[in-house]
Amino acid sequence: MKRRGKNKNIPVVLLSVVIALAMVLYTSLSGGRTSPVEAAVKGLFSPAQRAVSGLISWVGELQDYVSSVDSYKEENTSLKAELAQLRLQLQSASLAEAENDELRRLLKLSREHESFTFIPVDVISGNTSNYTSDFTVGSGSSAGLSEGMCVVSLEGCVIGSVSRVGSSWAVITTVLDPSVQISACVKGSSEVCVASGDYAVMNTGKFVLKYLSSSSAIHNGDTIVTSGSGGVYPGGLTLGQVDDVTADSSGLSESALIRPAAELHGLSKVFVIVSTGADQQQVEG
């Protein structure tokens, strides 16, 4: 039975071979035209060919994408380096501009007070509370500082005075401190009064002008300057502007709140007046 089944398959195989040979012969005689068998085979494998072609195309696009990503990464790195360089240049330009501005203002300060000798000092710490207002600078007696010297801003406005000195440090007490007493007057007026810190208004960043006569012609916005009396603060230096005027309960005098002309917070550098020129003139005299 098994041998007879195998014999039945032989004609089928032979027939298939004959048909294939006939198709090949037909194709050769037909001038290269596609045979039905070839068309069938091509039709059978065409989807696979299209899939392979698509895969090859996708791989090529992927390679192009990877190449473009690498290119973008290189460009991004280059741009970051360029941006960092530009930032450094901008920072250098800003520092140079700030330094030039400081030098211009220092030159202006020197021209306005030609007889004064200033020493610039760096602020290293602050100590402002409800009871005191002072800060420490990184220069002291070795730099020529001594107690009682007047301290001003780059604009020439009064900040305070040197209250304690070490060899390489000094404490500056500001105009807001109640221990400070400055002989002052309204700019353009000869009436002398006293500018002093006050515990009641210290936390508002203001100080008080005391002992004004009731007939004093003082108004909000007036500029208060040092009178020059007392020897610590040279005359004509700006202290601040009048913020409010109040009559005392007796009605015989007035007081005023003063807003400091100098910025007293966030200081980084101040200027100590080590000589006004008057001392030298007295020595020479």
* HEC string for 102-152: HHHHHHHHHHHCCCCEEEEEEEEEEEECCCCEEEEECCCHHHCCCCCCEEE
CATH number at residue 142: 2.40.10.350
In a domain, 69, yes or no: no
d(C-alpha 238, C-alpha 128), whole Å: 22
**21 inside domain:** no
Asked whether residue 19 is domain-assigned, the answer is no
The DSSP code for 34 is: P
122 HSE (CA, 13 A, CB side): 3
Q: What is the mean pLDDT of each run of 10 residues along the chain (285 residues)?
A: 51 52 53 55 55 67 73 78 78 67 69 86 85 94 96 94 97 95 92 93 93 86 93 93 87 90 92 79 42
pLDDT at 100: 66
Query: Is position 100 within any domain?
Result: no
Asked whether residue 79 is assigned to any structural domain, the reply reads no
Task: Kindly state whether residue 73 falls inside one of the protein's structural domains.
Answer: no
pLDDT of residue 1: 47
Strand-pair partners of 106: none
Backbone angles phi, psi at 126, to 5 degrees: -120, 160
Q: Point out which residues pair with 223 in neighbouring strands.
A: 241
Which value, to the nearest 10 degrees, does the dihedral of the CA atoms of residues 204, 205, 211, 214 take? -60
What is the distance between the alpha carbons of residues 260 and 282, in angstroms, rounded to a whole number? 32
Asked if 258 and 209 count as a contact pair (C-beta separation under 8 A), the reply is yes
Q: Count of domains in the chain?
A: 1
Read off the tokens for 176.
């807001």
In a domain, 237, yes or no: yes
Tell me what pLDDT residue 68 has. 75
**Residue 7 domain flag:** no
- At residue 146, the pLDDT reads 96
pLDDT of residue 196: 95
Backbone angles phi, psi at 258, to 5 degrees: -115, 130
What pTM was estimated for this model as a whole? 0.64
Range of the domain at 267: 117-284
